[in-house]
């Protein structure tokens, strides 16, 4: 009975943990990048400095269903603020925004087929083809 109770408690912990999943910032498994700092990721996704730790020009990929949570966790900004930021950069001819993926499958496919892609997925959707360089806790 006690064992059973422990099992229930553990199950609750696991599902509780899943309900509040984190966001993994991912690269191609062959990118040769071990991990990245939060400021590297901010520089790339905010269009400031698009250099990957391996020296390549980064190709950042936004994922529509996770985008709002990602920017809230990364820079504490909502989507209106993110669009406002990009309006400034795009219409002053300084930088172009990240590629927009509509589905997780699209984002994963882009990362898997492009060694300089930098994407993000819900930690639920991690696959073995992806390499996690940073985890954002919400």
Partner 1 sequence: MDGRRVRPVGAWRYLLSLLLSLLPVSAGAQALAGNEPLTVSGFGTLGVIHNSSSEAAFVRDLGQPKGAGEGWSARVDTLLGGQVDLKLNDRFDVTLQGISRYHHEGDFSPELTWAFLRYTPSPGWQLRAGRLGWDSYLFSESRYVGYAYPWVRPPVDHYGILQLDYIEGVDVTYRRPLGSGLAWAKLFAGRSTSHLVLSEALSAEMDISNLYGGHLNYALGPWQFRASYARADSDADFSVDREAFARNPRTLVLNTLIGRAFDYGAIELYSLGMTYEQGRWQVQAMQNRSTTDSEGVIDSGFVSLGYRTGQATPYVMFSRVRTSFPEIPAGESFRQRTWSLGMRYDVATNLALKTQLDRVHVIRPGLLWRETDADWEGDRITLVSLGLDFIF
- Residues near 12 by beta carbon (within 8 Å), at least 6 away in sequence: none
Terminal-to-terminal C-alpha distance of the chain: 35
Which conformational region is residue 78 in: left (phi greater than 0), alpha (psi within -120 to 50 degrees), or beta? Answer: beta
Of the CA atoms within 13 Å of residue 14, those in its CB half-sphere come to 7
Closer residue to partner 1 (CB): 112 or 126: 112
Which residues make up the interface to partner 1 (CB under 8 A)? 39, 43, 48-52, 55-58, 76, 78-81, 83-88, 90-94, 96-100
State the minimum distance, in angstroms, from the CB of residue 67 to partner 1. Answer: 10
Which is nearer to partner 1, 8 or 80 (by Cβ)? 80
Least distance (Å) from partner 1 to the CB of residue 72? 10
* Distance in Å, CB of 122 to partner 1, minimum: 21
């Amino acid at each position: 009975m006690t064992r059973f109770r422990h099992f229930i408690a553990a199950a609750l912990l696991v599902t509780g943990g899943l309900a509040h999943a984190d966001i993994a910032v991912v690269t191609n498994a062959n990118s040769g990048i071990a991990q990245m700092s939060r400021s590297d990721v901010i520089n790339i996704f905010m269009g400031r400095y698009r250099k990957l730790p391996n020296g390549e020009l980064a190709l950042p990929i936004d994922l529509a269903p996770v985008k709002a949570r990602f920017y809230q966790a990364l820079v504490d900004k909502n989507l209106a603020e993110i669009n406002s930021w990009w309006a400034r950069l795009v219409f002053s001819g300084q930088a172009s925004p990240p590629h927009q993926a509509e589905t997780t499958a699209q984002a994963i496919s882009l990362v898997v087929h492009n060694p300089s892609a930098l994407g993000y997925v819900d930690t639920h959707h991690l696959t073995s083809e992806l390499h996690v360089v940073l985890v954002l806790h919400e």
